[in-house]
Structure 1
């Protein structure tokens, strides 16, 4: 006797969630373990950069550039943000992370205006684009603010705002404030890691915010699906 379609779908969704969790755990280990193994070396690099004058300025410029590029390229923005906090402290790191994130949102908005929805679809796929459409249509700028810390969806939502010609002034105000909150968290984590003498702790903290936001977004999508509507995901 064939299994009911609902049960097959439920088992498929459960297996997909298990694969996603396993992939995330593996990525977390790949990122954090090297920082634990080479912790002393990395702490000495941070100390050298803090006193390095032009070298520190070059690192700041390069890392801000990476955050800007994250809108269209697979850059681990949380790790870059924490590294900036570790190197330049909570205040300097917050400012640099905010500049990078805000620069990226401006580029993403402009790219969305010029290239439209095909660029969003290329970023997240058709299924997740449908979920993102519903989320933004229902909650507008609040959705963009929440998704600031969700991997992939953060960038896709910004591009979608541009593709939908969202009012630029309101978009910029919300993004500036949201980016400031994210920047403050990442910079504080990095600065705390250096003060505690643990880069592994800092890198684990760097993964915590996007992981939590991703899990909340996935849970909200599954809840909507269970209530009768299709669920969107972070991909």
Structure 2
């Protein structure tokens, strides 16, 4: 979710970072992103929480512009919530120590989510429609590049992702009025640029040599 400032995603400020770095809010956002609009009651059932708790966390996410009420859905006072189109970025490490700590939590959760999604696809791909399997792909490249080339590569890939994000956002707006297009699916793109060569050798070796000293992350 980190990206160059030349792209349109909103950068979360320190207060938004601190608010978002909450296990239940992260899970609520993840469910809304994956499944589409939902009510506090529906989310409570999925999460094994009470409606009061999910309502509170939904309001907090909305207060920081992460989600919004899905117009035209629900009856009476019933509210459906959806992820705000356009996406967001975490940006650079903030000077505020509490916000910087929250950013670490969010980045760790991003790594967890990526691992979970990769494992889910590997386990379930054999049951997916053939056309979706053929359209999917795994990729890894190990390259020797300069700092400038690395930044250029990152930005070029993000430009492509931005183009398709715009298409998806427009489709999301149409779905609110006309219903979801059955030919579309929830597609996740993982993209990382990791200059591992910039990590000092002794630090990397120390981490590998002492796995028992590393605190286990969330499953």
TM-score range, shorter chain: under 0.3
**TM-score, length-scaled by structure 2:** 0.27
The structure where strand makes up a greater share of residues is: 2
**TM-score, length-scaled by structure 1:** 0.25
The structure where helix makes up a greater share of residues is: 1
